[in-house]
Amino acid sequence: MSEVGPKEHQGKEESVSRPKCPRCGGVISYIEHQKKGGKYYYYAVHYLGYTKTSNGKVKKNVRKCYLGPKAYNYVSRTHSDLGIVFEGAVEERRVIHYLDAFIMSLTKIELDRPTLIEIINKLKYLTQRLEEIVKEYE
Ligand SMILES: [Zn+2]
């Protein structure tokens, strides 16, 4: 994974505080948005360096990760220009983290039979519901 940013942003302190891409985990160089049908779609742009073309021009190499239709900025106390959170993608990852935490908790605490049955039924319903939603995407 490449984590090359613009020169002025390289350095120990920056690499710690720079926002990481919720999609690939790479350092975000800057944000780009595209307006489609009155909605904004956000991309994390990863700067990968320059290449010189045969005619002597400099071409910027970037890789883009789609973040989602929603985004907002929050002001970081120390790095107001760098502290950016992307709601769409971050929210999605958060759901996965909650789920992981839930799965871990099930193996750590002792649950009685009725509670276990209730959890199983809820998970069955959830699985069924999620499969229906996934089918709608196909
Ligand atoms: Zn990325």
- Residue extents of the structural domains in the chain: 7-137
Count of residues in the chain: 138
**Residue 105 C-alpha to ligand 1 middle, in angstroms?**
30
> What tokens were used for 114?
């009725």
pLDDT at 95 over 70: yes
Contact 49, 29 (CB under 8 A): no
Question: Per mean pLDDT, which range of 17-26, 50-59, 73-82 is the poorest?
Answer: 73-82
Could you list which residues have their CB under 5 Å from ion ligand 1? 21, 23-24, 26, 44, 65
CA of 11 relative to ligand 1 center, distance in Å = 20
Calculate what percentage of the chain has a pLDDT beyond 70. 70
Of residues 23 and 62, more confidence is placed in 62
How far, in Å, from the CA of 119 to the mean position of ligand 1? 35
Q: How far apart, in whole angstroms, are the C-alpha atoms of residue 2 and residue 48?
A: 7
Measured between alpha carbons, how far is 69 from 41 in angstroms, rounded to an integer?
A: 4
Q: What pLDDT score was predicted for residue 9?
A: 44
Q: Is the pLDDT of residue 25 over 80?
A: yes
* Mean pLDDT calculated for residue range 2-17: 45
Measured on CA atoms in the order 48, 69, 17, 26, is the torsion positive or negative? negative
127 CA from centroid of ligand 1 (Å): 29
